[in-house]
Each structure stands twice: as C-alpha cells, then as structure tokens.
Structure 1
C-alpha cells in the first residue's frame, strides 16, 4: 500500500512537471505567435516611405547625386525616429567614394604618316580606354576567333569590326592577346559617348569609322599613333546603418536593402536611348520601405539588430561590399544577414527566398514561420547572386534573400508606385520581423555553411546577349523561363515573349538558368540559331539572328 502511494505521488509529480514543460512550450510559441499578430507592419507607413523614395523629385536616386543623398538622409532620419543609434561613428550615414563615371579628356589624337584624323569625325576615344601615348603597327583581328598567334600580334594595335553592344565583351580577351590598343568600327558614323559608367580597360580603346579603319589598314608600313587620356570622376554616396542596442557586442542580425537606382536610365536601363526618370519603386524602394518597417517592429528585440540601406548597389554591390569589409575589420559581422531586393510586386503569393542552404535548419525555420502566412515559397540554397547578401556571404555570414521576382517594368521608367502591392509588402515585412524574432527568441545561432557556387560563364565570356532577363522564381528543371524581353534585341526580334520556357538552344538542352548561361557563352555574333520553347504548353521553334 505504501509503495502504491509512492508510485501515485511520483506519477503525479511527473505529470505536473510534464504539464509544466508543455505549458512553457505553449507559452513560448504563443508569445511568438501573438507578437506576430500584434506587431503587424503599418501599410500607411510603408506607403509614405516608398512613395517618397520613388518620387520624381528624387530623380531615380542615382549614386553620387544630390537626390541620392536626400534619400540617404531620409532613411537615416527614419532609423533615428524608430529609436536606433548609429552603428559606426556619430551618424547612421557612412560616406564612401566610388567611380561615378569615366570622361574622355579634350586633348586626344590619332594619326599616321599620311593623315591626322579629326576627333569626333574620324575617331572617338571610348570612356573605357586607358590613358596612353603609343605608336605601333596595325593588325586586323577577327572577334569571332580571338586566338593568340605567337608573338606576331603582341604589341600591335588590333583593328576589329564590332557592334557597340558587344564591345565590352571583347576588350579583356583582346588585351590578353598582348595587343597594345583596340581600334573598333561598325559603320560610317561614331556612336561613342565622351562619358560613360563603364569599367576601365587595360589598354586604349578607340572607335573609328569604317572608311578610317580601311585606310589605316592599308600598306605594309601602317604605323599608327594614339594619344588617349581619360579622367576618372569620383562621386560620394552613403551606406546608412543603425543599431537597436549599442555596445552590446556583435550584431545578431543585419537586415538590409539597397536604396540607389538608375537615375535617368543609361546603360543599366532596359529601354535603350531613352532619357527618363527611372523611379525604381520596386527596385528597390520596396526593399528599403520593408527594412524601415522591420526596424520599427524589431526595435525592442532582445538581441542586437542592425538595419542598413546600401548605396551604389546598381554599380556592382559597392556599398554592401564596403560595409561588409568594414564590419569584418571591426569584428562586427552579424550572425545572419537578411536582404530584401524587389519585394513590392507579390503576385499569387509567390515569394522567393534564397540562402536556405547557408545555415543548418534555415529551410525548416522559414517554412515553420510561413504556416502563419501561406506564401507560395520557392527556395534556393546558395548565398551567391547579384544582390547585397552576396557581399556578406563572401565573408562567411549566413544569409537569407527575399524577392518577389523580376517583371516587365524592371529597370524601365515604368517601375512606379502605382504598381506596388502594398498589402503584399506589408505581409512580407511582418514575415521577416516574425522570422527574426523567432530565431532570436529561441536562442538559435545560425552557423555558416558553404554552398556550391552556381557554375556559369563569366560575363566577359559572352560574345553576344539575347536581351533576356530570367524568371528567377522558376525552378521546375524543364527549361529556362523568360521574365523580361528587351525591345529591339535579338530575342525580341526573333519573337520570344515573357513567360516562354526555353528548352533547347542551338541543339543544347536547357533545363535551367545555368544551362542557358552555358549555351549563351558558345554563341557568336552573326549566327542564326534555332530556339525551341514551350508557350502556353505548346512546343514552338524560332530562329534568332544574332
């Protein structure tokens, strides 16, 4: 009887302890759920922030402009209003210099023993050109067959027929042949601007008219003289970074988005030859508005939260690279970086989240939180890509990258506020805040995992481009789905349309974006290729002239 009473006592005690643990778990998950319920993002604040950043008055937020700095000041002020402190120094605004553009100097010249050629009539120095004063013999080069010919062309000036939009793809390969300069031509007129946002070449690059090219190639004694001078014009822009708890050690998470855009278009625009304000409402005023709202929702988080807006992303992730390098030097890299880039066009609840392979448990955590939101989520494992999370992943920081994908208004003047899905943007902002709160409250620390970098040819290996932007949310493995088709380019001329799924190109099977990129690297200017595709379930074959 005594043993029976003892067993009853033990069982009751065990059940009370078990109930207590269950109650604690219920309270923990209830608190997280309730926090998500009560701390929803404010749609009106999102509208206010995004409408200002994407207004005509900011003229497209091009890095280095006055309007770019106005955007940075606005973001800084909003971080301060939300109760955040400067991450570094006395201000959330962290200035840095970058190359604004390259500008051809006035004193440039081109001549041989027979003639002094006239600037802007016979020739024009390309802004990518290096500064140099050289005299060398002239050799003709075939851009379709860039092969080294021993020492026969080393030190010579290469003359090559090349369309304007293919020039940047052949400069480095030609320089690596040992040529001392590049002369290119493609007609009787000159199309080279005196200033451009381009990377600098290792050798001089000059455009001439076709008659001039023919003239300088004549005869055996064809020594040519070049004086080229190009000035690098620097600009100043900002990273904006703030923290909720200063002096409390290493940041737990950094939530960021780039705030710059294309200004009046130019080389980054999908609409060629048009000078109009590109407001970039989705790219990426939407991401910044989401970061601002996340900052407000995460202010009282128990862990150290950094919020940031990066400058000069459109120029090659410059701002985020600089901030990642700076934080690395200071020992302040976060345990997790969350990047939002183009999150304002939620359609059919489709949300893409990259980086779920960069730390253990990421995919499970994302899908657990999504049970409260019911997004149709597509995930990718790697932490690479052409947005700011890649700058942190190269520093071995786990990352998550959210986007609602590309659309026909991408990098055009039509990416405006009236096309933003504010309900969707609010939902994504709340989701991100809920996700971060869940991870921080649980005490979980993301540990970096190395993922395999996508294998694709480098951009410099492409001799041609078709004028396509992929639909990054498509991952069925049965082809490459087109997100945007650029007017006037090979794809548009050949009849390709948004939503087409390319399954074969020049006889090569295409299962995904990487197959497409590999096949693209094998194409040459002047070719005609057959592209097989699916359009609304129907098989179609089209011929593209490159």
Structure 2
C-alpha cells in the first residue's frame, strides 16, 4: 500500500466564499473565543471589505496561522491583493428631456445607482402588466407603475422584450441616494414623479432623451492564502472561509436595517467561521 501525502491549503477570503474541508489540530475554547472576540470587536468596525480594519483582520489571521506552522503559498506574503467593486454611484451629468424641456434630477427624476451609464433617445410605451406587453416594443422606453424593490426583477423581463430603459413611478414621493450597492442592472432605470408620469402618458408615443452617468467605485482587499506542508505533493486539502462583514451598515450594505449606521460586528458572519476554520487547520 502506497503512502499518500498532501499539503493543506488555507484560504481565508474577503468577499469570496470557498468551501471548507478538514484536517485536525487541537485548539481550546479559549483560543476560539479569543479569535472571535478580536474579529468581532467594535474597534474592527464590522470589517467592511476594502477598509483598513479589513486589512487588519487579514494580518491577524495570517499571524494566527503562522503560529501553528502555516507559510505563504505564493511568494513571501500571505496576503494576496485584488480589486473589486466597492459600490456604484450616480455621477453628475445625468439628464432627462421631454422634447426640448429638461427635467430636474432630484425633483422630477432619480437615476437608480445600479443602472449602467447610457444615452438613449426613444419613444415611450406604457406597460400595465409585464406578462401582457403590447406589440413590438423593441428599443422603446417603458413606463411602469411599481415599487423600487421590484425593479431588478422587472428590468430583466423588460430587457428580454427589447426595452431600452425603464421609467417607474408609484404613489410615493421619489427618494433614494446617489450611492447603491455592488449589483448592477442591464438597462437604465429612473424613478420619476407621478406628475411626470402623467405628463408623459398624456402624449402617447412621445419621445424622450435619457442620459445616465453611473460610476463603479473600486476598492482593494486581500485574501489570506497559506499552506501547511509541501506544495510539491499532488494532493491538497482546501480549507476556507470569508472574514469580511458589512462594516457599519447603511444603504447598499446588505444590512437588515439599512437606515441605521452602527457597527455590525459579524460574530456569526463570519468571525466564528474563521475561528472554527483556524481550529481545523
């Protein structure tokens, strides 16, 4: 019977999740509590991706791994840096015109931050039900009545029908900031007032001009990639977890209470997972 050897690859990621496999090393409950307490402490400010606390967490994890014999897998640095989309933000210069009349951003319309930058001149079409779109609407700008929360879903369906942009309104006043999350939609979406919607619908087939300016703001973070054993072996076991969290919350953060800005400690997402993964390592 041949002896099989393997190296243990340890990957702790910011943003990206890697499946977990196992190899045993004894660590006490006190060590687990120590790691969780450090990562979830208020001073770490929720370990938002790209923040200085995110990097401090990575260095701490690398230090803990080094103590039990892990070494960098790539070169001499256990931290492998990468660029990612931090958030999307509506820039300056977005426009909306009906004929020769320019509407006011912030008063008459708002660009959804998940929209792409685009410039469109097209006729409007009012769509009352997504599942019963009238005739050929390819290239047109759709007007729909719906809430902002349903826009990503509706945009996908309308894009498949050939719609070039979406104007949506509801009984509520237009609201929202210039900054959004990291997700994007495939065509521009603008929230308009009920008054502007009524004006547009009073002249069917009217033409509008839309210009959206949206910037993708980049950040830099790092993964912790280390190994135990020799990389020359043909078999490796990959152990991984993500160590970042959502910082102090707020709009676009993924917080369950996006209107509140306070430290989201992330003890269970995912400081505890990191501690358990280090114990496995």
Alignment TM-score, normalising by the size of structure 1: 0.45
Q: Does 1:145 align with 2:124?
A: no
The equivalent of 2:86 in structure 1 is 100
The equivalent of 1:119 in structure 2 is 105
8 Å Cα contact 2:124/2:205 also seen in 1 = no
The equivalent of 2:12 in structure 1 is none
The equivalent of 2:155 in structure 1 is 171
5 Å-filtered alignment, 1:89-488, equals 89-113=75-99, 115-142=101-128, 144-151=129-136, 153-266=137-250, 267=252, 268-295=254-281
The equivalent of 2:70 in structure 1 is 84
8 Å Cα contact 1:146/1:174 also seen in 2 = no
CA distance in 2, matches of 1:51, 1:93: 22
Number of residues of Structure 1 aligned to a counterpart in Structure 2? 256
**Alpha carbons of 1:194 and 1:226: their partners in 2 closer, same or farther (altered >3 Å)?**
same
TM-superposed deviation, 1:251? 4.3
CA distance in 1, matches of 2:187, 2:98: 19
CA distance in 1, matches of 2:44, 2:187: 37
5 Å-filtered alignment, 1:56-75, equals 56-75=42-61
TM-superposed deviation, 1:146? 3.3
Q: Which has the higher helix share?
A: 1
TM-superposed deviation, 1:246? 2.7
**Alpha carbons of 1:294 and 1:100: their partners in 2 closer, same or farther (altered >3 Å)?**
same
Question: RMSD between aligned alpha carbons?
Answer: 1.8
8 Å Cα contact 1:85/1:246 also seen in 2 = no
CA distance in 2, matches of 1:158, 1:246: 59
Spell out, residue by residue over 1:442-470, the C-alpha distance to the aligned partner (whole angstroms, 9 max, x if none): xxxxxxxxxxxxxxxxxxxxxxxxxxxxx
Q: Higher RCO, 1 or 2 (CA under 8 Å, sep at least 6)?
A: 2
CA distance in 2, matches of 1:232, 1:174: 23
CA distance in 2, matches of 1:225, 1:59: 43
CA distance in 2, matches of 1:233, 1:170: 25
Secondary structure class of the residue paired with 2:59: helix
CA distance in 2, matches of 1:210, 1:134: 22
Spell out, residue by residue over 1:155-201, the C-alpha distance to the aligned partner (whole angstroms, 9 max, x if none): 11001111122122212111111011011112352223211114222
TM-superposed deviation, 1:75? 0.8
Q: Larger radius of gyration, structure 1 or 2? A: 1
CA distance in 1, matches of 2:219, 2:97: 34
8 Å Cα contact 1:147/1:177 also seen in 2 = no
Point out where structure 2 has 5 or more consecutive residues left out of the alignment. 1-23
Q: Which has the higher strand share?
A: 2
**Alpha carbons of 1:188 and 1:252: their partners in 2 closer, same or farther (altered >3 Å)?**
closer
CA distance in 1, matches of 2:220, 2:143: 37
Alignment TM-score, normalising by the size of structure 2: 0.85
